[in-house]
Structure 1
């Protein structure tokens, strides 16, 4: 058996010269019209200008990331690295393997060059024979001219990247976003080391860039806030669709999967898809905070905790939670817990204003939670509300509310994650910050410290807000919030 016959290749490939000549013939001319500069690209150019000023003289490398194999010979749907999307304006599934290089100019500033894989000619084997990149298989890619017109930067073939990043690498400091693609990072590290860079210093140097780009996103501009409003509005469509299906989910079996599918259908139709794996947790599953298995049946007397958000094509996402009675009406115990969480959320909203600390939101909400738990007699004997709020010797309330009440939201569902504690938890709120407010109470079915009437009930209410000059604006402001409003919402949707 020949070496060719033993290669792991089982797809028939047309390889004759006659076929190559035949397949290249008689195609209609391609359109020469190029896309115009997008609003996302305009905003990205402003961000690059700010980044350029912070890293004068350094070569900055921001990869999109590569495709990841799923099921042997197909790929997962691609999503570019957040830093790449933020600094190019490309969203959805664009452009795998691309790398943005900000090249320092003599005299100051940077030239932005996007190295990517452009459209191949119809006379190339890629056109018909490459199942990962070929036009026959995955559709036409943009040309260099398309990218330059759409993004307002310089386009170049990805094959030129190695030479570009290595040029004068011993004299020019090169920084890159390391976590976008491990293989590319290793390659750039090797290039830098071969040009005299100290290998042990590379990660620390790169971390400074990654932190800076993450922290840049902490205040959103008007266009970004509008994108997030669109994401919230699209999410409402998905929630309404789920509510319309509640009367059917009990009999279907695996009702959590049905809920996940219904929301996912509308997320994909309204935007790019879901911004994170949806939590569709019925009954006691709601007490597993990150329940994304969604394999459970749904009973008619249970609550459904639905934590889901639509990611729009620009990759900004919503993050909303509502806890819905399957029957359309809360039981007395369910309402008692829901009302406590609702009151805690209202306290969180009231704490949001410029100059307040980010941590004040949690402090306000968790005080209400502690007061409710104390009133129910669930804290240890002799422990007051102040005692349990003591960070060093208390925290008993966290048995039933273990997570934080708020996080930044944007291109990532937990945005700005590389910001330091001083820049995040201890920072002052500023207009343009977009945050979640999401207290909850969780009473596991096997929690013998919980009242029997509460066991198996979990409730969370989550909204997305933007800090304003005098407080905050709730992007989910017209959504139902209180128990009465939720019941009315269910009746209204199901009567359509």
Structure 2
């Protein structure tokens, strides 16, 4: 990583040089030592790179419809939705930026520091304005002296370019905090993303009203539009190819660790999308019994199982969420197959329960019943009946988690929706959710036979509710045990 241009000693800086400096200090507290001649030289000799007649982003029509629905829900109120800012990873390095889901959902933009504002027009409706950082300034040297300038981190779109791409009038975000501090009338803000915006609105908002806005935007994403469904399809297809990559490289993972699996899938995510949608779970052997094993530093051993839970996030920020449990040597042992088949049967029951008009909880209940039946059949719950086991929830010692969740721009999408709209809600076409039952026998669980201990199995697919039932968006990956073995054999050659 390059270092900023700084003088050999701070004393070398002169009053004349200060006039040529950028508008803010560097993060290390030193101003670059720049002569007047160099500062003047850097202002000129650059080609005009302004882009013209840009086509709108693919989701522009959908984001306009989403803003219109939001406007109708909160008439007469100013609505503020920030993208968020860079977050420090360590010292003077930052994490890769990911725009807030609410902001990206309503604008199609993904740039840091952006803010969408819906201003009430005084009539019915709102006027939308997107506030962005313009291209970095060439007159004051910002474009080459500032750590977020164009020559350091890349070119930003001009405000005119942004208007063409997003279909929203654009203004300089550096003017927004002052404007908001002087604003009158009711205001709502999506909190937790931009401290400067929250400071400007301190006396104008309430936590309760802001939470209503956040909840509404979460519930608005429960039913996906056509663009969102196409993005989820794309994410699932890329994820399937990532799983294929992993199977082809399992011999290298055996020679190294779970990290090879993690890196292999990440490469596919970066080639075909923006990133991974969440931290990949690459859990081999007994690590598969830890639900969110993301350390991914363990051994990969033939004869054991690999639980791979991973998803590609598309360039427009929609993620898949898929899990397969694979025999590392390509063949299930009899006990591994018995447990795997039980989870497969539970998932089949859960998927069958996903349909319009069904309660959201139905697929969970269907899967849990099958798993409870298997645990009773295997003698792990004494002489209790299946009904009694379900009444007491005793199967959860080995099933542990819910059987699925909403999916979209967040892996656990719509997370702040009201209970009555989500887990107590009714499924309708356009809802996308995961169905992911599992059985997990901990390595230290003395209530099960020794041979069960350390085995974890989960099978997860991304299911879209359709007009007449459902569609498995991740069906390019096999699920049935014989099909999994044949698929792995084919990929391994």
Question: Aligning the two structures, in what range does the TM-score lie when normalised by the shorter sequence?
Answer: over 0.9
Which secondary structure state, in structure 2, belongs to the residue aligned with residue 396 of structure 1? coil
* CA distance, structure 2, for counterparts of residue 225 and residue 34 of structure 1: 28
Which residue pairs with 1:155 in the alignment? 170
Which secondary structure state, in structure 1, belongs to the residue aligned with residue 135 of structure 2? coil
Which residue pairs with 1:331 in the alignment? 333
CA contact (8 A) 2:285 2:306 kept: yes
Please tell me whether residue 174 in structure 1 is matched to residue 187 in structure 2: yes
1:64 to 83, 105, 127: 83
Structure 1 residue 385 displacement after superposition: 0.7
Q: CA-to-partner distance for each residue in 1:300-338, whole Å, 9 max, x for gaps?
A: 111000000000011000000000111000011110100
Alignment: residue pair count: 473
Equivalence map 1:297-446=2 (5 Å): 297-379=299-381, 381-390=382-391, 394-446=392-444
Which residue pairs with 2:467 in the alignment? 469
Which secondary structure state, in structure 2, belongs to the residue aligned with residue 346 of structure 1? helix
Equivalence map 1:158-237=2 (5 Å): 158-169=173-184, 172-189=185-202, 193=203, 197=204, 202-237=206-241
CA contact (8 A) 2:180 2:200 kept: no
The runs of 4+ residues in structure 1 deviating greater than 6 Å are 1-5
2:54 to 35, 41, 63: 35
* CA distance, structure 2, for counterparts of residue 350 and residue 340 of structure 1: 16
Which residue pairs with 2:123 in the alignment? 107
Which secondary structure state, in structure 2, belongs to the residue aligned with residue 386 of structure 1? helix
* CA distance, structure 2, for counterparts of residue 463 and residue 281 of structure 1: 18
Which residue pairs with 1:247 in the alignment? 251
Q: Which runs of 5+ in 2 are unaligned?
A: 1-8, 14-25
Structure 1 residue 162 displacement after superposition: 1.8
Which residue pairs with 1:44 in the alignment? 63
* CA distance, structure 1, for counterparts of residue 12 and residue 213 of structure 2: 46
* CA distance, structure 1, for counterparts of residue 435 and residue 189 of structure 2: 33
Which secondary structure state, in structure 1, belongs to the residue aligned with residue 379 of structure 2? coil
* CA distance, structure 1, for counterparts of residue 466 and residue 229 of structure 2: 11
* CA distance, structure 1, for counterparts of residue 105 and residue 11 of structure 2: 46
Structure 1 residue 384 displacement after superposition: 1.2
C-alpha distance 438-124 of structure 1, shift in aligned 2 (>3 A): same
Structure 1 residue 10 displacement after superposition: 6.7
Task: Name the Cα RMSD after superposition.
Answer: 1.7
Structure 1 residue 120 displacement after superposition: 2.4
CA contact (8 A) 2:190 2:211 kept: yes
C-alpha distance 3-69 of structure 1, shift in aligned 2 (>3 A): farther
Equivalence map 1:258-297=2 (5 Å): 258-297=260-299
CA contact (8 A) 2:248 2:492 kept: yes
C-alpha distance 257-32 of structure 1, shift in aligned 2 (>3 A): closer
CA contact (8 A) 2:276 2:310 kept: yes
* CA distance, structure 1, for counterparts of residue 12 and residue 119 of structure 2: 43
Which secondary structure state, in structure 2, belongs to the residue aligned with residue 215 of structure 1? helix
CA contact (8 A) 1:144 1:155 kept: yes
CA contact (8 A) 1:43 1:89 kept: no
Structure 1 residue 183 displacement after superposition: 4.4
Please tell me whether residue 80 in structure 1 is matched to residue 99 in structure 2: yes
* CA distance, structure 1, for counterparts of residue 27 and residue 467 of structure 2: 62
CA contact (8 A) 1:305 1:323 kept: yes
CA contact (8 A) 1:42 1:151 kept: no
Structure 1 residue 124 displacement after superposition: 2.5
* CA distance, structure 2, for counterparts of residue 376 and residue 300 of structure 1: 26
* CA distance, structure 2, for counterparts of residue 386 and residue 83 of structure 1: 42
Structure 1 residue 167 displacement after superposition: 3.8
Larger mean CA deviation between 359-368 and 64-73 belongs to 64-73
Which secondary structure state, in structure 2, belongs to the residue aligned with residue 300 of structure 1? coil
* CA distance, structure 2, for counterparts of residue 148 and residue 422 of structure 1: 38
C-alpha distance 126-8 of structure 1, shift in aligned 2 (>3 A): closer
* CA distance, structure 2, for counterparts of residue 483 and residue 463 of structure 1: 15
CA contact (8 A) 1:34 1:145 kept: no
* CA distance, structure 2, for counterparts of residue 38 and residue 88 of structure 1: 10
Which secondary structure state, in structure 1, belongs to the residue aligned with residue 62 of structure 2? helix
CA contact (8 A) 1:235 1:308 kept: yes
Which residue pairs with 2:141 in the alignment? 125
